[in-house]
Structures are given as structure tokens and as C-alpha cells.
């Protein structure tokens, strides 16, 4: 069998957690392939809301297996808290959650390095979630990292000490004022590692390839969004992993010719949390209204998300680099009742109209060109079938499909599992 991918096409928080949860019934294995606890994936059902950080969003389904792939970076401390959050829901996570031996560990000093790096940048800071993501991937590519499989070796604490010592001297290099008690952080860390060790570590690429051979279905769950990709995102205001389709191959050990559908998920508007360019950002009451109605606050840091109109130049770009086959439009309900809607269809780039995403999308270079649409007044949240959609919403969807040349198969009309409409 093959693998399907689910990826965020904007700057993250598109609603990936919700949709993975909805799709899980059709898959045997749900696998995270990159990122780490910088992610916050929200699921809502039966009146309860869950936010997952490292654990795949299939964990609440009885039958599915959940895998944390080699491309993911794991903070045992955050992970332990996540597991503890599952206990009250009677989730047998020891039976349903597997971890790749090749996944890298986020150490307490990685978090400190993240904070020191951001503090030293001042106004130019990335706006990182400060979970140690960048420093951990730096150690991975620098060939210094500690992996989950190392925890099965006798000398891993020695390796840990050497790396942590090196990190401490690096923190000094940043020359910023930082108060921390590493010994205290380490007590928490080593304790959490013991919890991590209670789970099953596997050679996950072999597991997945065997699963495919025996006819099992796999859904790869992306974290962050394509515009935060280390190569294709708005560098340097990006995360440190490959968030695009290629990341699922390297982050799981799956060959490209095994990938079938690529589900691309986007909000009916755009949001971004953290620093970096955002051409369609709104600074007026319309933007504030989107943030208020859409409850646009980060699931991880609680920071307000910046809001703006849908950007088709950027969306077309991310559909292309990912090879998206099916689209899913989220949070359509949030736009109900707006005076009118705008969609960016081109950029005025240094005086020239262009339709591709250029190297530099800083405001001094780019002004969005908008098309205006009538908005729908109806509340979408109670709708259960696409036949009930107002004509203005249908016109909006059909316009996007024509521009993007990809069908929008799912329209989400609320945070709950049930508020999901297939067309």
C-alpha cells in the first residue's frame, strides 16, 4: 500500500490536528515526520479539547498505531506531560505509540541556547517558540546530537554531559543575561527520560516499509506549514525542519514513489505567529475581527496570531512544491458576516505585477493585488452538508479551485470533529 501526506500550506496552525483526527478512521498508522514540541495540534470532540505537541493526532482512535518518526525532535519533559494528559482519557499509549530510534532528543541546554540566540538577536528575533528546535536540528546536522536509540546504550549520560558542557560554553558566547538552574532542569529531564524509556523504540523505517508491504495504510502528519520550511519558507523567519512533502520521505524513510495523495490544508484566510514578512496582513478592525472570531491565539505559546486575507500567490507556490492533490479549507465559519472578502491574486513587486512568490516578500518590495468577493451572512457552524452552503461561499470555493487547479474536497466549519463537510 501507499502513504498519504497531510501538510499545512501556510504558516502553521491551519487545523492539521483536527483533520488528522477526522481522517484517522481510514488509516492503520499515523506518523509524525518532523518538528517537535513547537507544534500545537488541537483536536475537539465530545465537548473536550486536546492539544498535542509531539504525539500524532491519531492517538484517540482505538485501532490506529501512532509513530513518532526519525525526523521529529523530542523533548522528554514536554513529552512526559503530554502522556500524563492522556491518562484521564484512558488511552493505552504504551500499546499505541511507537518511537523511532533515530529521532533526536531536545536537551535542556538546547532550550537555553534557543533563548540565548533569540535574546541576542533583539528586534531581528525569529519569534521562536523557544522549545529548543533550532539548536537541536543544528546538532543533528552538525553530527553531535543524541538520539532516542542512544538511550539504550550504557554510555549515553557521558555523551550527554559532554554535549551539555559544550552548550554551556556556547551560551556564554551569546553574552546575554540569562538566569537558569541547569541542575534543576536536569533532574526534570532525567526523570522524563525514564518515562520515555517505558515506550517502545523501533527501527521505524523498517516498520513502515513492512507495514506497506502487508497492505497497511499510512497517513503522514506534517507539523508547522510550508511557509515555515527551512528551504522554501520565508527564511530566516522559518523553523529548522523540512515541513514540505519531501520531509515526509526523509523524516520517515519512505520512498517518494510510495506517496499517493498529498492533502494540503489551509485556512480560508491567513495567520502567522512570530516574526517575518506577511504581505496580506491586516492591521485594521477587519484583522482584529478575524483574530477574535477565529480565536487566533497560539496553541503552544498563547501569543496572538497575526491575521490577514488569503494569499493565493503563496498558496499556489506551496501547492506546487508539495504536489498537493486535494485541498481542505479550514475555518470557513470565521468569515461569516464580514462586509466583503478579499483574496490576493498577484503581487506588485517593485512596480511589476507578478504571480509567483519572489525571493523577497518584505513590505518594501511587495504590495498585494486583491480581488474582492461578496461574503456570506449565514452561520456555517451547524451545517452538515455542502448543499446547505450559501451561494457566496460556493463562489469563493469555486474561484479558489479555478486559480489553484486543485479540488477543495473538505470544508471545515468549526473546531469539532463533526464540523467537517466533504464536497
Q: Does 54 bind ligand IMO (CB under 6 A)?
A: no
Active site residue 4: no
Q: Which residue is nearest to ligand IMO (CB)?
A: 274
CB under 6 A: which stretch of 97-105, 127-135, 206-214, 285-293 binds ligand IMO?
127-135
Q: Does 412 bind ligand IMO (CB under 6 A)?
A: no
Nearest CA to 118 out of 297, 326, 275 is that of 275
Q: Which 298-317 positions form the footprint of ligand IMO (CB under 6 A)?
A: 299
Active site residue 41: yes
Nearest to ligand IMO of 299, 329 (CB atom): 299
Active-site residue identified among 4, 21, 41, 104: 41
First-residue to last-residue Cα distance in the chain: 25
Nearest to ligand IMO of 314, 341 (CB atom): 314
Q: Report residue 88 as a C-alpha cell.
A: 484521564
CA-to-CA distance for 181 and 160, rounded, in angstroms? Answer: 17
For the beta carbon of residue 301, count every other beta carbon within 10 angstroms.
Answer: 16
Q: How many residues bind ligand IMO (CB under 6 A)?
A: 25
Torsional class of 280: left (φ above 0), alpha (ψ -120 to 50), beta (otherwise): alpha
Q: Does 227 bind ligand IMO (CB under 6 A)?
A: no
Task: Please give the DSSP secondary-structure letter assigned to residue 2.
Answer: -
| Interface residues toward ligand GDP, by CB under 6 A | 8, 12-18, 39-42, 44, 294, 299, 330-331, 333-334, 412-415
Q: Report residue 419 as a C-alpha cell.
A: 464540523
Active-site residue identified among 4, 13, 75, 114: 13
CA-to-CA distance for 42 and 391, rounded, in angstroms? Answer: 30
Considering only residues 146, 151, 163, 228, which one is a binding residue for ligand IMO as defined by CB under 6 A? 228
Nearest to ligand GDP of 117, 275 (CB atom): 275
Nearest to ligand IMO of 100, 129 (CB atom): 129
Beta strands in 242-325 (DSSP E): 259-267, 270-272, 306-308, 310-311
Q: Does 13 bind Mg ion (CB under 5 A)?
A: yes
The torsion angles phi and psi of 106, rounded to 5 degrees, stand at -90, 120
Report CA 366 to chain centroid distance, whole Å.
26
Q: How many residues bind Mg ion (CB under 5 A)?
A: 3
In angstroms, the Cα distances linking 267 to 3, 15, 62, 261, 347 are 24, 8, 29, 19, 20
Residue 43 CB, shortest distance to ligand GDP, in Å, is 7
263 strand-pairing partners: 6, 326
Nearest to ligand IMO of 202, 300 (CB atom): 300
Q: Does 223 bind ligand IMO (CB under 6 A)?
A: yes
CB under 6 A: which stretch of 144-152, 222-230, 334-342, 347-355 binds ligand IMO?
222-230
Tell me which residues are annotated as active site: 13, 41
Q: What residues make contact with Mg ion under the rule CB under 5 A?
A: 13, 40, 299
Amino acid at each position: 500500500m501507499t502513504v498519504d501526506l497531510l501538510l499545512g500550506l501556510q504558516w502553521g496552525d491551519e487545523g492539521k490536528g483536527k483533520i488528522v483526527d477526522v481522517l484517522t478512521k481510514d488509516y492503520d498508522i499515523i506518523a509524525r515526520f518532523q518538528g517537535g514540541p513547537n507544534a500545537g495540534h488541537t483536536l475537539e470532540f465530545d465537548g473536550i479539547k486536546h492539544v498535542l505537541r509531539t504525539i500524532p493526532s491519531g492517538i484517540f482512535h482505538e485501532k490506529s498505531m501512532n509513530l513518532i518518526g526519525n525526523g521529529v525532535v523530542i523533548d522528554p519533559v514536554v513529552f512526559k506531560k503530554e502522556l500524563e494528559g492522556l491518562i484521564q482519557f484512558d488511552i493505552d499509549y504504551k500499546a499505541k505509540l511507537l518511537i523511532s530510534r533515530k529521532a533526536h532528543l531536545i536537551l535542556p541546554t538546547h532550550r537555553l541556547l534557543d533563548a540565548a540566540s533569540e535574546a541576542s538577536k533583539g528586534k531581528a528575533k525569529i519569534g521562536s517558540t523557544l522549545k529548543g528546535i533550532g539548536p537541536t536540528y543544528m546538532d543533528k546536522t552538525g553530527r553531535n546530537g543524541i538520539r532516542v536509540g542512544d538511550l539504550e546504550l550504557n554510555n549515553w549520560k557521558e555523551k550527554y554531559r559532554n554535549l551539555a558542557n559544550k552548550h554551556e560554553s556556547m551560551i556564554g558566547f551569546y553574552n546575554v543575561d540569562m538566569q537558569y538552574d541547569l541542575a534543576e532542569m536536569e533532574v526534570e529531564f532525567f526523570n522524563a527520560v525514564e518515562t520515555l524509556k517505558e515506550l517502545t523504540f523501533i527501527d521505524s523505517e523498517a516498520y513502515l516499509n513492512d507495514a506497506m508491504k502487508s497492505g497497511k495504510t499510512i497517513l503522514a502528519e506534517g507539523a508547522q506549514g510550508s511557509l515555515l520550511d527551512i528551504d522554501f519558507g520565508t527564511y530566516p523567519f522559518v523553523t529548522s525542519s523540512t515541513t514540505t512533502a519531501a520531509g515526509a520521505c526523509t523524516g520517515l524513510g519512505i520512498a517518494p514513489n510510495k506517496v499517493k495523495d498529498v492533502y494540503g490544508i489551509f485556512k480560508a484566510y491567513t495567520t502567522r505567529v512570530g516574526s517575518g514578512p506577511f504581505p496580506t496582513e491586516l492591521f485594521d478592525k477587519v484583522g482584529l475581527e478575524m483574530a477574535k472570531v477565529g480565536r487566533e491565539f497560539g496553541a503552544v505559546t498563547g501569543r496572538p496570531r497575526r491575521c490577514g486575507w488569503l494569499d493565493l500567490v503563496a498558496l499556489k507556490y506551496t501547492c506546487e512544491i508539495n504536489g498537493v492533490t486535494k485541498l481542505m479549507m479550514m475555518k470557513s465559519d470565521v468569515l461569516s458576516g464580514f462586509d466583503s472578502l478579499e483574496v490576493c491574486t498577484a503581487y506588485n513587486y517593485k512596480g511589476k505585477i507578478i504571480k509567483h512568490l519572489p525571493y523577497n516578500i518584505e513590505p518594501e518590495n511587495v504590495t498585494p493585488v486583491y480581488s474582492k468577493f461578496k461574503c456570506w451572512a449565514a452561520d456555517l457552524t451547524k451545517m452538515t452538508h455542502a448543499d446547505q452552503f450559501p451561494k457566496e461561499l460556493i463562489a469563493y470555493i469555486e474561484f479558489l479551485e479555478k486559480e489553484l487547479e486543485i479540488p477543495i474536497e473538505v470544508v471545515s466549519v468549526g473546531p469539532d470533529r463533526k464540523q467537517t463537510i466533504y464536497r
